[in-house]
Chain A
């Protein structure tokens, strides 16, 4: 077990480095750089630039080097000083721009993950033990429907209803008052209220998928021989379902944690734009459009880092759940 975990952790750093290389390369792909977009924006306002000024800016921002040298410098800064570079659009170090958003994104993602499992696994158990009942059909229908409707439209719909019912669309994560005073105990209730719509909208997208996987796995498991054997020996139905079937059925869910996190970050971008949430997704789009490469690069790196951590944790959890995995994987 320890050997297996050690092996997984040793893969962690090379994976991250490779990811950062791909990300940096992709972000570099669009033609032009930040100075180009800056100049076109300022020229539109009537300013005139001399070639010397432009050259000076390029040098100032370090955009003259080829992309792999820029990458090397960026990486060196991160490793030696924890410096993620400089955001051109904000005129501040990247980390100070996104530190607050990163915290919020992690909190929101954690809450949504818990919400997803808390909702989907009980429903899946119910559906599989009551196959072809009214409830099963109802949840299957909701599940399919949730997958078919684009997230942002659910967001608009909920906002509309919330506006009709309470007179406030509950836009954004913070109220004006929270932005001024920060979040304290007395306004925690208001803050949590504002989380409801984002959690429902972003959470339901994956919930449907989890319900369908767990339900199918549970049904498969129930028709296996060992369950029949247990049943004929008189093991109680609860033990069969929760101790035998569920444990096996959770396998694909646990192994999918990394993929689900990646899905969460993608899915939340559009929703966050509609709901005006201050999380990483919309910030990234802004950075990409302005070719603010260090900001964009850092945001994708943070997201990828969280996904890799998620995958690592899920691998360890899987090895702990399933002895076959730690046996074969530890060996090769």
Chain B
């Protein structure tokens, strides 16, 4: 008896479940999407706590550490085990080639330590601190020149690991902000176009057609060229976000319009209209929820192209400018072959771009399958 009741409850919970619960259940079965969600979670934790995780600050550099390979972490100093530590670097005149070379200075060792003090930073612009997750301790002879650069350094002697983290603050949030703006614009304009139809619809459709016919990069280039050079990073960032989203909304508006066209003649909409519900409420309460899941999917899938778009804009020198950094700015350094063959660790930022783009793509695919009631 209890068994039957349990089964009935289970069935009931299935029939009573809301659309979102059903979607969540299906998404849980999609392994690749779950993995992607985990990866994105880690990346976004990195965005929030970048100041804490990064051992060095955004503008820190060290002349000695120009174009150096990732720092080797060692455990044995002169045959004796002393736990993880690094050596510092020193300049050295090679008597055979007469060149100044940089080698490891093995006379002194620097232990790696958790929770070291370093540059000040703020988490989310609120909590100020100077404690970093890890860093080097004072050396065995008392000097402080030991550095740990997990992913090597760039040509100015900046730590690539720290810069990837700071870069993610811009590269991983611009797409979201721009998706949010295109979302609002797309739904508003698309629903007006689809709900009212007629002349308004015709005008809006022509505008979308025209905007869609202008190749996007030239439009970005022209608009970013309009951003004055002296602006603060935050303002520049905002403007770039707006530029990216000004073009993206067209696609969403089209989809929304199409859905409206097919939904607005349903009986329940007619019923609401006869009951005297006003247009705005009909749109927001009765129509939009009907295809919200679909929109969320299309937005997830639009984020990867925004990430790539941001990188190509920074690559062209039109996006984020130094000293602020983004993944595009970091990739900019890899664009010549010499860097590519001599300093392969400079390609590490690329790995993060690929990881983020793939994760968003797989998550979007998973969401699409989950939102599809026929699967």
Contact = CB atoms under 8 A, between A and B. Distances in A.
A152 B312 contact: yes
Contacts of B226: 26, 29-31
Contacts of A159: 337
Interface stretch (B109-117, B288-296, B354-362): B354-362
Given A31-B228, A148-B353, A152-B335, A265 B217 contact: yes
A312 to B, nearest CB: 10
Interface stretch (A71-79, A115-123, A284-292): A284-292
Interface string A12-29: 000100110011001101
Interface of A is mostly: helix
Given A156-B335, A270-B316, A284 B218 contact: yes
A40 interface: no
A87 interface: no
Contacts of A308: 213
Contacts of A296: 222
B223 A26 contact: yes
A163 interface: yes
A114 interface: no
Which size bracket describes the interface of A in this complex?
Answer: 35 or more
Given A22-B214, A262-B212, A266-B216, A150 B312 contact: yes
Contacts of B331: 150, 153
B218 A266 contact: yes
Contacts of A29: 222-223, 225-226
Interface in A120-162: 144-145, 147-153, 156-157, 159-160
Interface stretch (A54-62, A88-96, A299-307): A299-307
Given A31-B228, A156-B334, A265-B215, A285 B311 contact: no
Interface string B100-125: 00000000000000000000000000
Nearest to B339: A156
A102 to B, nearest CB: 14
Given A144-B358, A144-B361, A149-B350, A289 B225 contact: yes
A258 interface: yes
Contacts of A23: 214, 222
A269 B214 contact: no
Contacts of A15: 206, 209-210, 213
A258 B254 CA distance: 15
A250 interface: no
Interface in A264-293: 265-267, 269-270, 273-274, 281, 284-285, 288-289
B135 interface: no
A156 B361 contact: no
Contact of B354 (A149, A151, A156, A267): A149
Interface in B336-367: 336-337, 340-341, 350, 353-354, 357-358, 361-362
A145 B214 contact: no
B218 A30 contact: no
B221 A307 contact: no
Interface in B268-303: none
B225 A300 contact: no
A297 to B, nearest CB: 10
Contact of A152 (B213, B228, B315): B315
A169 interface: yes
A160 B347 CA distance: 14
B337 A160 contact: yes
A259 interface: yes
B81 to A, nearest CB: 41
Interface in A179-217: none
Contacts of B334: 153, 156
Contacts of B213: 15, 19, 258, 262, 304, 307-308, 311
B215 A307 contact: yes
Contact of B312 (A163, A258, A270): A270
Given A149-B354, A285-B221, A289-B225, A304 B212 contact: no
B219 interface: yes
Interface in A1-56: 11, 15, 18-19, 22-23, 26-27, 29-31
B40 to A, nearest CB: 14
A284 B210 contact: no
Contacts of B222: 23, 26-27, 29-30, 288, 296, 300
Contact of A273 (B211, B212, B223, B316): B316
B190 interface: no
B304 interface: yes
Contacts of B185: none
Contacts of A258: 212-213
Contacts of A31: 226, 228
A265 B210 contact: no
A272 to B, nearest CB: 11
B218 A303 contact: yes
B324 interface: no
Given A29-B226, A153-B331, A262-B212, A163 B337 contact: yes
B338 to A, nearest CB: 10
B89 interface: no
B181 interface: no
Nearest to B209: A15
B214 A274 contact: no
Interface string B304-345: 100010011001100000000000000100111100110000
Nearest to A268: B217
Given A144-B361, A169-B337, 13 more contacts: A15-B213, A148-B304, A149-B350, A156-B337, A156-B340, A163-B337, A262-B213, A262-B216, A270-B316, A273-B316, A300-B219, A300-B222, A303-B214
Interface of B: 206, 209-219, 221-223, 225-226, 228, 304, 308, 311-312, 315-316, 331, 334-337, 340-341, 350, 353-354, 357-358, 361-362
21 contacts: A15-B206, A15-B209, A31-B228, A144-B362, A147-B357, A150-B350, A152-B312, A153-B334, A156-B336, A156-B340, A159-B337, A258-B213, A262-B213, A262-B214, A266-B216, A269-B217, A269-B316, A284-B221, A288-B218, A296-B222, A300-B218
Q: Which 7 A-B pairs have the closest CB atoms?
A: A266-B217, A29-B226, A148-B357, A265-B215, A30-B226, A148-B354, A26-B222
